[in-house]
């Protein structure tokens, strides 16, 4: 035990031989580790917040549908003939789900008739759970007891040649095979940032949609979850299918993964650069002490003893630097949790368009605790690698050839 204590003391004091150099190396490790923790938290938080914001506007985190509603290959296509009943989803909490009816229709105004997707929704539930209403730019949101009220995207309204307060004609196919048609009154216009959604979506109350398409009052197409973004979807109740947003929007999930992988690649490059610098500085530091190592060998220090002493120095330096880096990374993350970063700095003041919707470019950083050990482990791994060559060379030199 005394031997280990002696070695620790020896290595610790050696760190103080060149205080400025030790400080620079420790700061390099600290800021490198801190930056990587911050960057990983930023990347994960940004993609999570942006996607959560996007999903909260319309798609939800997962949907419960009737098997067959989404054909297997392309989840963007659906078959409106597949509906669910309230009884089938009775086990799912109504606190986090909204019911929707989605109908492909033709919408006719004075200028044009356009194919559109009409979403029938429960106004009260949507106001409570989703952010659909946030896109309202003119007029009011749908009312629970309103009849044949409709919300249109601003772009869609312009193309149809209609304004707030005017009427549009809808015709399509009801579920009983009859022609569905009626006149709807425009109570509000929606602004999704000028994207495709603004051109393709119209909203009415679920009651009006059911009446239009002859759907019984207890049936609907989708039960959409607006719970916590990261929560795993629940098991599907019998006779239903649970579809995650990752399946419905694979291209957005793919981009999220790409950002994560890209951040890790950048992190590894940063660590490699730091390690090369560290390795070079360690080599210089150790070579300056070449005579000392030789003398140690003369008085009986085995190469393993010298290597252990040097290794301990670097481990202590690593613990100091990386430990400080963990604190820095988490403090910076905490700061940007309280003061979210506006991505408008990077987008020239414009909104981010995703899936046809404008996303508020503001990121609140969240602590992803796995990065507080993954990033330090990565830095420590490369620090250890950077140590191998200098130590090997020092040991060779300390044992001068015969």
Partner 1 sequence: MLIEMQNLTKTYGEGDQLVHATQDVNLKILEGDFIAVVGPSGSGKTTLLNLLAGLLGPTSGSILHRGKEIQHLSMEERTAHRLANMGFVFQDYQLLPVLTARENVELPLQMRNMSQAEIDEKTAWAMTQVGLGDKFDRYPRQLSGGQQQRVAIARAVAGRPSLILADEPTANLDSKTAQDIIDLFKKLNQEFKLTFVFSTHDPRLIDQVKRVLRINDGQLREGKTP
Chain residues that interact with partner 1, rule: CB under 8 A: 2-3, 6-7, 9-10, 13-14, 16-17, 291-292, 295-303, 305, 399-400, 402
Q: Which is nearer to partner 1, 10 or 229 (CB)?
A: 10
What are residue 101's phi and psi, to 5 degrees?
A: -120, 130
| Nearer Cβ to partner 1 (163/393) | 393
Q: Which is nearer to partner 1, 297 or 330 (CB)?
A: 297
Measured from the CB atom, is 102 or 297 closer to partner 1?
297
Residues 6+ apart with CB under 8 A from 6: none
Q: What is the CB neighbour count within 10 angstroms for residue 149? A: 21
Strand locations in 109-178, DSSP E? 113-121, 136-139, 149-153, 167-173
Q: C-alpha 60: how far from its chain's center?
A: 14
Helix/strand/coil percent split, the chain, to 5? 50, 20, 30
From 215, 245, 237, select the one nearest 101 (Cα to Cα).
Answer: 215
Give the shortest CB-399-to-partner 1 separation in angstroms: 5
Q: How far is the CB of 23 from partner 1 (least distance, A)?
A: 17
CB of 25 to partner 1, least distance (A): 17
Q: To 10 degrees, the CA torsion angle through 336, 339, 345, 349?
A: 140
**CB nearer partner 1, residue 245 or residue 286:** 286
* Cβ neighbours for 272, distance < 8 A, ≥ 6 positions apart: 382
User: Where is 97: in which H helix or E strand?
Assistant: strand 97-108
Six token digits for residue 218: 């207890």
Q: How far is the CB of 42 from partner 1 (least distance, A)?
A: 41
Taking the complex as a whole, how short is the minimal distance between the CB of residue 367 and partner 1, in angstroms? 39
DSSP state letters, 310-340: HHHHHHHHHHHHHHHHHHHHHHHHHHHHHSP
Comparing CB distances to partner 1, the nearer of 1 and 73 is 1
Q: How far is the CB of 14 from partner 1 (least distance, A)?
A: 5
Best CA proximity match to 101, nearest among 69, 138, 56: 69
CB of 287 to partner 1, least distance (A): 17
Nearest one of 162, 167, 181 to 112, comparing CA atoms:
162
Residue 292 CB, nearest distance to partner 1 (Å)?
A: 7
For residues 28 and 221, give the distance between their C-alpha atoms in angstroms, rounded to a whole number: 56
Measured from the CB atom, the residue of 77 and 400 that comes closer to partner 1 is: 400
- When the beta carbons of 14 and 61 are compared against partner 1, the nearer one is 14
């Amino acid at each position: 035990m005394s031997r280990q204590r002696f070695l620790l003391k020896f290595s610790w004091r050696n760190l103080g031989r060149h205080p400025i150099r030790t400080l620079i190396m420790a700061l390099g490790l600290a800021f490198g580790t801190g930056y990587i923790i911050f960057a990983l938290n930023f990347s994960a938080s940004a993609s999570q917040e942006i996607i959560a914001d996007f999903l909260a506007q319309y798609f939800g985190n997962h949907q419960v549908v009737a098997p067959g509603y989404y054909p297997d290959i392309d989840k963007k296509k659906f078959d409106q003939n597949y509906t669910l009943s309230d009884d089938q989803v009775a086990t799912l909490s109504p606190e986090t789900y909204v019911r929707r009816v989605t109908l492909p229709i033709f919408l006719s105004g004075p200028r044009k008739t356009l194919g559109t997707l009409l979403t029938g929704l429960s106004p009260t539930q949507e106001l409570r759970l989703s952010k659909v209403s946030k896109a309202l730019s003119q007029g009011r949101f749908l009312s629970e007891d309103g009849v044949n009220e409709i919300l249109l995207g601003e772009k869609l309204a312009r193309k149809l040649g209609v304004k707030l307060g005017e009427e549009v004609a809808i015709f399509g196919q009801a579920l009983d095979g009859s022609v569905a048609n009626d006149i709807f009154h425009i109570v509000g216009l929606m602004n999704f940032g000028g994207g495709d959604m603004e051109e393709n979506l119209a909203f009415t109350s679920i009651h009006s949609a059911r009446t239009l398409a002859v759907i019984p009052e207890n049936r609907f197409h989708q039960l959409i979850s607006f719970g916590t973004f990261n929560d795993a979807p629940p098991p599907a109740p019998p006779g239903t299918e649970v579809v995650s947003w990752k399946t419905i929007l694979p291209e957005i999930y793919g981009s999220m993964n790409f950002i994560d992988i890209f951040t890790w690649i950048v992190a590894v490059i940063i660590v490699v650069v730091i390690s090369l610098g560290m390795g070079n500085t360690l080599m210089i530091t150790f070579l300056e002490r070449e005579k000392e190592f030789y003398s140690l060998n003369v008085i009986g220090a085995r190469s393993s003893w010298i290597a252990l002493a040097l290794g301990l120095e670097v481990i202590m330096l690593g613990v100091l630097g990386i430990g400080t880096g963990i604190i820095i990374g988490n403090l910076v993350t905490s700061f940007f949790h309280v003061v979210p970063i506006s991505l408008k700095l990077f987008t020239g003041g414009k909104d981010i368009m995703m899936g046809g919707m404008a996303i508020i470019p503001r990121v609140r950083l969240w602590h992803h605790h796995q990065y507080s050990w993954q990033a330090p482990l990565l830095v420590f791994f490369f620090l250890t690698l950077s140590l191998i060559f200098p130590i090997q060379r020092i040991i060779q030199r300390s044992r001068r050839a015969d």
